[in-house]
Amino acid sequence: MSDSKLTLQYNGKNIVIKPLVEKVLTAEEQSKLTPDSVINSLKEGNDRFVSNDLTARDHTVQIRKSTNGQYPKAVILSCLDSRIPVEDVFDKGIGDLFVARVAGNFVNEDILGSMEFGCKVAGSKVILVLGHEHCGAVKAAIDDVKLGNITAMLTKIRPVVEKLSADYDGDKTSSNEKFVHMVCEHNIIKTINDIREKSPILKEMEEDGEIKIIGGVYDMDTGKVDFM
């Protein structure tokens, strides 16, 4: 166990916190997890994040303990957005999560392959597609932005915009937060459906109860994740 200490200053006083050193998850411990237990762990961790009660960890020790292997609990597909510190959002440490990021949290061949590695090879129990409020990629897709490679990237989200626009009577621009939220949620649903459709491996694992594929929306104002 590490003897390292963290000193914080609060109201002019130094407060010494001894980090809680959590051992890195082992293969045996991972194998005993269920998808539902992992989802509950993510929810509980998010509650701690929202209440500013994150677990104090000794990352130096965790790095050393994870050198010879990794057995994460879940794969999180997040947006590129820098305001979403994924491990902190779920109060997880080194070796707990696989995290993939792309603006607009959609899947392509590379991300699907990474998910297959995370679940089929490395044993993760959950895939969480994590969108968020005020998403710049979603807003750009709504406004049909044309700019370099961003244009091609947004074609992954545009089908959602076009489908919703057909039946929506309100303002269909990025200035309408209600419409932006609708596109955000349906983009997550589309991504989940794409995972099942384009990865027979993950679809079969889900059907067999080995994993669960779920979605969530991160609230930028509170830090709360609304699990879908």
Please give the Cα distance from 149 to 154 (Å, whole number): 9
**Residue 72 belongs to some domain of the structure:** yes
**Residue 185 belongs to some domain of the structure:** yes
Please give the Cα distance from 73 to 9 (Å, whole number): 34
Please give the Cα distance from 141 to 144 (Å, whole number): 5
Name 90's Cβ contacts closer than 8 Å, sequence gap at least 6. Answer: 41, 42, 45, 46, 49, 76, 96, 97, 225
78: part of which helix (H) or strand (E)?
strand 74-78
**Segment 95-125, tens digit of pLDDT:** 899 999 999 999 999 999 999 999 999 999 9
How far is C-alpha 138 from the geometric centre of its chain's CA atoms? 16
Host domain of residue 29:
24-227
Name 70's Cβ contacts closer than 8 Å, sequence gap at least 6. Answer: 24, 95, 122
Q: Can you state the angle between helices 200-207 and 177-198, rounded to 10 degrees?
A: 90
Q: What does 79-125 look like in DSSP terms, one character per residue?
A: -S-TT--HHHHTT--TTSEEEEE-TT----HHHHHHHHIIIIIT---
Please give the Cα distance from 36 to 38 (Å, whole number): 5
Report how many domains make up the chain: 1
Please give the Cα distance from 114 to 96 (Å, whole number): 16
3-class secondary structure, 25: coil
**Residue 8 belongs to some domain of the structure:** no
**Residue 18 belongs to some domain of the structure:** no
Do 104 and 12 contact (CB within 8 A), yes or no? Answer: no
Please give the Cα distance from 149 to 165 (Å, whole number): 24
**Residue 144 belongs to some domain of the structure:** yes
**Residue 124 belongs to some domain of the structure:** yes
**Segment 156-171, tens digit of pLDDT:** 999 999 999 999 999 9
pLDDT tens per residue across all 228 residues of the chain: 444 555 555 567 665 556 565 577 788 888 899 999 999 999 999 999 999 988 877 666 666 666 666 789 999 999 999 999 999 999 998 889 999 999 999 999 999 999 999 999 999 999 999 999 999 999 999 999 999 999 999 999 999 999 999 999 999 999 999 999 999 999 999 999 999 999 999 999 999 999 999 999 999 999 999 999
Tokens standing for residue 90: 């779920």
How far is C-alpha 206 from the geometric centre of its chain's CA atoms? 18
At 142, which CATH number?
A: 3.40.1050.10
Please give the Cα distance from 98 to 126 (Å, whole number): 10
